[in-house]
Copies of this chain bind each other. A is one copy, B any other.
Amino acid sequence: MFKALGNPHRLLIFQRLSRCCLPGTRCELEAAIRFSVGELGEGMEIAPSTLSHHLKALHHAGLIEMERQGKQINCWIDPLVLERLSGFFNPQTELVKIGGCDVR
């Protein structure tokens, strides 16, 4: 996972998708924001084939989900992935979510 996040383009894509639990929103899968492949590439000066390659890498690393919706393919992050990653650096920490999300 860290290897996949270690590339600047892939990290940017991941960050765009990781705003899945905004304040006042429940941190649940249905609330996860989605972007099509094309939308994710906007503003990044990168060939479509390169973008596709990076998305594949993120998906294979288990960082993002992908699903075809008509002509486009939508991408999102499962909030559990964010929790796992966060927890990796904080094994002795208990999470208390704010902003209307679950408290565990």
Contacts and interface: CB of A to CB of B under 8 A. Distances in A.
Interface of A: 2-7, 11, 18, 21-23, 27, 82-83, 85-90, 92-99, 101
A44 to B, nearest CB: 18
Nearest to A7: B3
B95 A93 contact: yes
A23 to B, nearest CB: 6
Contacts of A83: 89-90
Nearest to A90: B86
3 closest A-B pairs by beta carbon, nearest first, are A3-B6, A2-B5, A86-B89
Contacts of A89: 18, 82-83, 85-86
B95 A21 contact: no
A77 B1 CA distance: 21
B86 A97 contact: no
